[in-house]
Amino acid sequence: MEMDKIVNLDKEELALQAHQSAEQIFRLRFQMKMGQNEGLKKLRELKKDIARIKTVQRQRELDIAAPASATEPAAKRKAKKTAKKSAAKGSKSKRAAKKTSTRNTKRTSKIAGKAKSAGKTKVKAAKRGKANAKKGGS
């Protein structure tokens, strides 16, 4: 069920629709457990419908207006999306530069860590060499 239809339902119809969807979910789950039906897609749609219904019920309870996407025509929504995309393109270059700089700092810290650990292993090897020399020389 689409959001436009749900928004246009009254309180009793919303409750009835939610109850019917819950019953259908129960039946589908039962059928799936018995191996009779593989209605996973229908099950997901029913869950989403119930969530939409509960959202509308809660909005009405709190006296919140319906979301803009439910009441606006599709053409207006599309125009808004394209405007957002064009605005986002300018900020993408900034984000890309920021990511690159953080990657570079991570790389340098990894390299520095490897250099430190390499230095430690050289010191340990040198100590082992001295210890081995003492053992062999005695």
Predicted local distance difference test score (pLDDT) of residue 67: 55
Q: Hey, where are the domains in the chain?
A: 3-75
Predicted local distance difference test score (pLDDT) of residue 129: 72
Predicted local distance difference test score (pLDDT) of residue 56: 93
Share of the chain above pLDDT 90, in %: 28
Predicted local distance difference test score (pLDDT) of residue 73: 60
CATH of 3-75, one of 1.10.287.310, 1.10.540.10, 3.30.1370.60, 1.10.287.110: 1.10.287.310
Greater pLDDT, 31 or 87: 31
Enumerate residues 6+ apart whose C-beta is below 8 A from 53: 6, 14, 17, 18, 21
Query: Per residue in 1-53, pLDDT tens?
Result: 788 899 999 999 999 999 999 999 999 998 888 888 778 889 999 999 999 99
Which has the closest alpha carbon to 101: 90, 89, 93, 112? 93
Predicted local distance difference test score (pLDDT) of residue 107: 62
Residue 57 banded pLDDT, cuts 50, 70, 90: very high
pTM assigned to the model: 0.46
Enumerate residues 6+ apart whose C-beta is below 8 A from 15: 57
Enumerate residues 6+ apart whose C-beta is below 8 A from 50: 18, 21, 22, 25
